[in-house]
Structure 1
Amino acid sequence: QGLNRAGGALGGGRHSVSGVTATVFGATGFLGRYVVNELGKIGSQVIIPYRCTEQDTAHLRVMGDLGQIVLDPYDANDPSAVNKYVQDSNVVINLLGRDRETWKHSFEKVNVDMAANIAKAASEAGVERLYHFSCVGASPDAIGKKFRTKHEGEVAVREHFPDATIMRMAPVVGVEDRLLNSIAFMTRRMPYVPLYDGGETKMQPVYVLDVVKAFVETLKHEGTKGQTFEFAGPETYTMKELVTLVEKTIREPSGSLNIPSSLGKLLDSPRAALQASIPFPVPTHTMLTSDYIDELESDLVVDGSSLGFEDLGIEPQRIDQGVPIEHVRFWRSGGYDFGSTFE
């Protein structure tokens, strides 16, 4: 049985009462809005601490019944503030994460320290379920600092909250994604799309709604406590194949350029050095940063040793057809039905 204290099966609508009171950290991010919407859809109360402007949270308020979405600004670096927002919840969800480091928010601070603070607060408050969202590739031996700190964050969460459900995701795609949209942006607006070391890195992109569907399924079953899940799409692509897929989808000629990863890091070194000394982000595209290049040193594929979609009875969608790729078509020159070249 799941958490529904009202006795149902978490299947009601927005006007129903699921019995779930969830605190969602990182709700304003890409995946966060879908998680909040799904919680609101089943009649949950959702508490959303946020660090951005109030305008950046407006879209979340309408995702639940009247008064069920509670938004409040907070300081993520203050443990007492975290304690405040988990006291009355039976579910706590940590979606905090970064694609690259800044002067104020390093990978260690976001992926390890903040994750530990949330897990500790949830444990002390007697929260029933803690969800920690991580990523496929998290490993103590990973070359990328992001993946190493993601692993350290998982260890810290388990230390404070052994029954936490850890959800590792392959690169997630959807309307607001940073993978396909970034490739499309660079194809349309930049002189070239960089393919580091030939673009041979393998990954299994997963559709965002499949991840959220899996989250709701785990919420229904007590047996998912303390488990680690890995969610990946059904198809494996190299980075080069993904670039080709996007180019064909938006009907643009190929503009990729093979670049040694060492050269890419060298080109980014002035920005990285400057970023370490100033309190605001230095403008650059994520795909041009050393952090991103380090990520591509490891394949982002699952080996089947962890639980996944199949264990929850979910068949993930392909990302190269139908709704998962639909948003990329809006990058076409001249509009959805056009493009520089035609199929």
Structure 2
Amino acid sequence: MVRSQGSRLFTRALCYGATKTLAVDQGLNRAGGALGGGRHSVSGVTATVFGATGFLGRYVVNELGKIGSQVIIPYRCTEQDTAHLRVMGDLGQIVLDPYDANDPSAVNKYVQDSNVVINLLGRDRETWKHSFEKVNVDMAANIAKAASEAGVERLYHFSCVGASPDAIGKKFRTKHEGEVAVREHFPDATIMRMAPVVGVEDRLLNSIAFMTRRMPYVPLYDGGETKMQPVYVLDVVKAFVETLKHEGTKGQTFEFAGPETYTMKELVTLVEKTIREPSGSLNIPSSLGKLMDSPRAALQASIPFPVPTHTMLTSDYIDELESDLVVDGSSLGFEDLGIEPQRIDQGVPIEHVRFWRSGGYDFGSTFE
């Protein structure tokens, strides 16, 4: 529950800059200047960001702060976990407050003074308290309903490539259900589907590097033939800012994917080469992988805390790999926004993986 003292601070922080008017159709701020005048400028955007403490959230908050926006961040973690967000905007422009995600009235409180609401909530695997249905569907619906009732002008719902009612993976099925629920409550919502995102804090390349360095093997389910188009995190955030500038993006669905398609096996090879480690991949039939995870899954369903395991070893993850995570070009994307996405196998997008080298960032092992 929200503390009373925090509520008073939250209310005072919103006294400045709260507005329902958002003039960004031509990339203009409230004063008529170009949107993106810097952290000391006033963009006229008051944005509530749910899920701001996650991987993508920190980049979204930083971009909003860079264009002079006030950002309201409800959080469920410890205060220390939000410290990096406090410095991303001008003094008083980043407003953080603890909240109960299961309380619809708490959601209403955080959107009533905003003209932009962004939902970044999501999970890689289920826990006893937070199932995929609860996070991807129920919470998404609560946010969309609250935004609609508050008269919010823009709602952004972040989903993922692969979301489908026919998907084998439960995560992807509930992501689709969440999109439907959002559209029901807020028809003009902008839905942004992302391919697997890479960056310093990602859970794709870092997970492969972790398994390569710390585990006996890297599992390649059914030969690692699943195809995907990993996308660089800064390209996704750049696209988000572009959609914010134009009214025509309301009610649209975007799909953002990288320019290159890789199989899971090729991604593992890329990481092994980058961190200079010998191949440690092991081909495992998906049926065997699910069988190996079944004791953990059964235990997880009966206890209120996460059972320690790596996401790449769970049945949900194996189910996700049953379908290729590539875009078919039927939705809007980077090209429609004038953005050329970066390759993830060279330059800055892959740079963070080098820190996994056993001899350090500059040296690494002697393996070639």
- Map residues 1-343 of structure 1 onto 2, 5 A cutoff: 1-2=26-27, 4-343=29-368
Provide the C-alpha distance between the structure 2 equivalents of 1:283 and 1:103, rounded to a whole number of angstroms.
13
Q: How many residues align?
A: 343
How much has 1:339 moved relative to structure 2? 2.3
How much has 1:21 moved relative to structure 2? 0.2
How much has 1:223 moved relative to structure 2? 0.2
Query: 1:284-306: per-residue Cα shift (whole Å, max 9, x none)?
Result: 00000001000000000000000
How much has 1:8 moved relative to structure 2? 2.2
Provide the C-alpha distance between the structure 2 equivalents of 1:206 and 1:61, rounded to a whole number of angstroms.
27
Q: Secondary structure at the match of 1:280?
A: coil
Provide the C-alpha distance between the structure 1 equivalents of 2:115 and 2:58, rounded to a whole number of angstroms.
20
Asked if the contact 2:148–2:185 (Cα under 8 Å) also holds between the matched residues in 1, the reply is yes
How much has 1:125 moved relative to structure 2? 0.2
Query: 1:143-194: per-residue Cα shift (whole Å, max 9, x none)?
Result: 0000000000000000000000000000000000000000000000000000
Asked if the contact 2:278–2:367 (Cα under 8 Å) also holds between the matched residues in 1, the reply is no
Asked if the contact 1:92–1:122 (Cα under 8 Å) also holds between the matched residues in 2, the reply is yes
Name the stretch that deviates more: 160-169 or 331-340: 331-340
Provide the C-alpha distance between the structure 2 equivalents of 1:201 and 1:284, rounded to a whole number of angstroms.
22
TM-score by length of 2: 0.92
Provide the C-alpha distance between the structure 2 equivalents of 1:9 and 1:114, rounded to a whole number of angstroms.
34
Q: Secondary structure at the match of 1:47?
A: strand
Name the stretch that deviates more: 261-270 or 331-340: 331-340
How much has 1:6 moved relative to structure 2? 2.5
Asked if the contact 1:9–1:220 (Cα under 8 Å) also holds between the matched residues in 2, the reply is no
Provide the C-alpha distance between the structure 2 equivalents of 1:196 and 1:134, rounded to a whole number of angstroms.
24
Asked if the contact 1:47–1:71 (Cα under 8 Å) also holds between the matched residues in 2, the reply is yes
Specify every segment of 5 or more residues in structure 2 that has no aligned partner in the other structure, as ranges. 1-25
Compared CA separation, residues 8 and 78, structure 1 to 2 (3 A) = same
Provide the C-alpha distance between the structure 2 equivalents of 1:227 and 1:66, rounded to a whole number of angstroms.
34
Asked if the contact 1:2–1:222 (Cα under 8 Å) also holds between the matched residues in 2, the reply is no
Provide the C-alpha distance between the structure 2 equivalents of 1:277 and 1:189, rounded to a whole number of angstroms.
29
Asked if the contact 1:103–1:280 (Cα under 8 Å) also holds between the matched residues in 2, the reply is yes
Asked if the contact 1:86–1:127 (Cα under 8 Å) also holds between the matched residues in 2, the reply is yes
Provide the C-alpha distance between the structure 2 equivalents of 1:320 and 1:106, rounded to a whole number of angstroms.
33
CA RMSD after TM alignment: 0.8
- Matched-pair identity in %: 100
TM-score by length of 1: 0.99
Query: 1:241-294: per-residue Cα shift (whole Å, max 9, x none)?
Result: 000000000000000000000000000000000001111100000000001000
Asked if the contact 1:3–1:19 (Cα under 8 Å) also holds between the matched residues in 2, the reply is no
